[in-house]
Amino acid sequence: MKSLCSSFFERMNAVRTPKIQFYHVDPGYIAYLKAVDARVPDVVYPGRHSKMLCGVVLELNGISYYAPLSSKIHRADANFLIKNRKEKPIASLRIQYMIPVPENILARIDISLLRQEDKTGYGDLVLEEYQYCNRPDNIAEIYKKAQKAYRIAKNPNHYRNQDYCDFAALEAAMLEYHRR
């Protein structure tokens, strides 16, 4: 007999969001989550672009998870490397640090507007990252890694559990934040 969890993940594989989007999230919400779990990544870096979130990478019980996009190339099993047209890694999705986010505090990034307004080439880079993440095989890989990350983080006996955000605590914090 299949477990409820594996049955859910099979349904997730069958029904997918057609595209993964990039978002900015309210920095106040990130500060709120960081008070619950210090592993939650920063999103604001003075003098640099704000960190983007990529999502939805996982949805469980009506809670949507978003993974931070990093310009650093973090080679780890829990990360998804984003590559350029020449297949050279240019960024990574830090899936082990994905966070639950209510929709009302997300701002979807308009990549075409970003490309028009930004003269440094950053908008073109974001477009390239977006296109790579949205290849069908890459969407499947991102979802697969998110499911695995969730299972590891929710298992207190897993030897890598401490390398992941505390999803249970963050889910509770998100629900409390939403009620405020």
What digits encode the pLDDT tens for the residues 106-144?
A: 899 999 999 999 889 999 999 999 999 999 999 999 999
In CATH, what number is assigned to the domain containing residue 109? 3.10.129.130
What are all long-range contacts of 1-5, with beta carbons under 8 Å and residues at least 24 apart? 5/151
For the chain, the domain total comes to: 1
Range of the domain at 23: 4-179
Query: What does the pLDDT look like over 65-115, one tens digit per residue?
Result: 999 999 889 888 889 999 999 999 999 999 999 999 998 888 999 999 999
Q: Which pTM was predicted?
A: 0.84
Instruction: Give the model's confidence band at 52: pLDDT under 50 very low, under 70 low, under 90 confident, else very high.
Output: confident
Q: CB neighbours (10 Å) of residue 24?
A: 17
